[in-house]
Amino acid sequence: MKYSIRLIPAAILVLALAACSKSGNDEKTEAAASEPAATPAVLATVNGTKIPGALLEFIIAEQLPPGMQADEATRTKVREHLIQREALLQEARKAGTDKEEKVKTRMEFARDDQLLNAYIKEWLEKNPVTDEQLKADYDKKIEEIGSTEYKARHILVETEEAARELIGKLDKGAKFAALAKDSKDPGSKDHGGELDWARPVAFAPEFGAALKTLEKGKYTAEPVKTTFGYHVILLDDTRPASNPSLDDVKGQLSQEVQQENLKKHIDEVLAKAKVE
């Protein structure tokens, strides 16, 4: 079992939110009564070791939402935690725990991890996603998914030979729906092979590519092989697809482009690094 004396972030938030949950005059009165005192330069001294007041301010700033102030009760809780933490840290050093190799490795890793996270945060702030990048990514994705939906039918069989036999029967006038009854696709075989309206990207790549080459009412002259087997595809109809506007997906795209930019930066750093 692992033990920890870390002050749980949620506990701080609950205290702070509780202080902010009152309304009207009661809220103003309560706020005035519990106005926190200025944080001293030295928060407390434990066995001669000073705990800086700045550490308390750091913890509060890290845990509370922007713009929310901690009341005196919250500050007291944080102060108590820091005193407890310092006392136990001193005991850990007396016991030589900080000299253990595994502990030293964990401490070094945690320190470097904080440095790395801070660097990435600063890099992202200095390299924000531009409107031009968002527009380019939006246009690229719209082009990839297409602006047309297709209403198709298909018959799925296990072998190329079986698919060619089906095409031969269709060439001789057989009804597609009748042949579809022997399809290996249980979801469409009893409906004449009919599929829902969809864009080509919704299907296996080979299926989608073949679908885009067909004219309405036409079927594939050659079997289409996918990981599912061999298909004979008939196109019933097409219609314009409704795409979201850039404003509708701006938030999501911004995150995706940001991650792509970061990955590109990491790749550039790795490319310049001498790895032996």
Element (H, E) at 237: strand 229-240
What local confidence, expressed as pLDDT, does residue 34 receive? 53
Contact 86, 46 (CB under 8 A): yes
Show the domain range for 154: 147-240
| 13 and 63 both lie in a single domain | yes
User: Is 60 exceeded by the pLDDT of residue 1?
Assistant: no
User: Is 60 exceeded by the pLDDT of residue 25?
Assistant: no
Mean pLDDT of 8-22: 43
User: Is 60 exceeded by the pLDDT of residue 266?
Assistant: yes
Burial (0-12, 13-18, 19+ Cβ within 10 Å), 213: exposed
The fraction of the chain above a pLDDT of 70, given in percent, is: 87
| 174 and 65 both lie in a single domain | no
Element (H, E) at 140: helix 131-145
What local confidence, expressed as pLDDT, does residue 151 receive? 98
User: Is 80 exceeded by the pLDDT of residue 192?
Assistant: yes
Determine the 3-state secondary structure of 1 from DSSP: coil
| 264 and 141 both lie in a single domain | yes
What integer best gives the mean pLDDT of the chain?
Answer: 88
Q: What are the φ/ψ torsions at residue 46 (nearest 5 degrees)?
A: -120, 110
- Residue 2 in any domain: the answer is no
- Enumerate residues 6+ apart whose C-beta is below 8 A from 247: none
pLDDT higher at 65 or 127: 127
- pLDDT band at residue 35 using 50, 70 and 90 as cut-offs: low
- Residue 190 in any domain: the answer is yes
- Enumerate residues 6+ apart whose C-beta is below 8 A from 153: 176, 177, 180, 188, 192, 193, 194, 195, 233, 234, 236
Q: How far apart are CA 134 and CA 257, in angstroms?
A: 7
| 62 and 124 both lie in a single domain | no
- pLDDT band at residue 51 using 50, 70 and 90 as cut-offs: very high
Q: Work out how many domains the chain is built from and give that number.
A: 3
User: Is 60 exceeded by the pLDDT of residue 162?
Assistant: yes
- Residue 4 in any domain: the answer is no
Bridge partners for 238 per DSSP: 150
Task: Check which CATH number belongs to the domain holding 166 and give it.
Answer: 3.10.50.40
Question: pTM of the prediction?
Answer: 0.64
pLDDT higher at 4 or 240: 240
pLDDT digits (tens, 9 = 90+) for 85-141: 999 999 999 999 999 999 999 999 999 999 999 999 999 999 999 999 999 999 999
Mean pLDDT of 193-201: 96
User: Is 70 exceeded by the pLDDT of residue 36?
Assistant: no
Contact 237, 151 (CB under 8 A): yes
CA angle, 7 then 10 then 12, to 5°: 65
- Residue 90 in any domain: the answer is yes
The closest of 164, 153, 182, 133 to 230, measured between CA atoms, is 164
- Residue 199 in any domain: the answer is yes
Contact 121, 168 (CB under 8 A): no
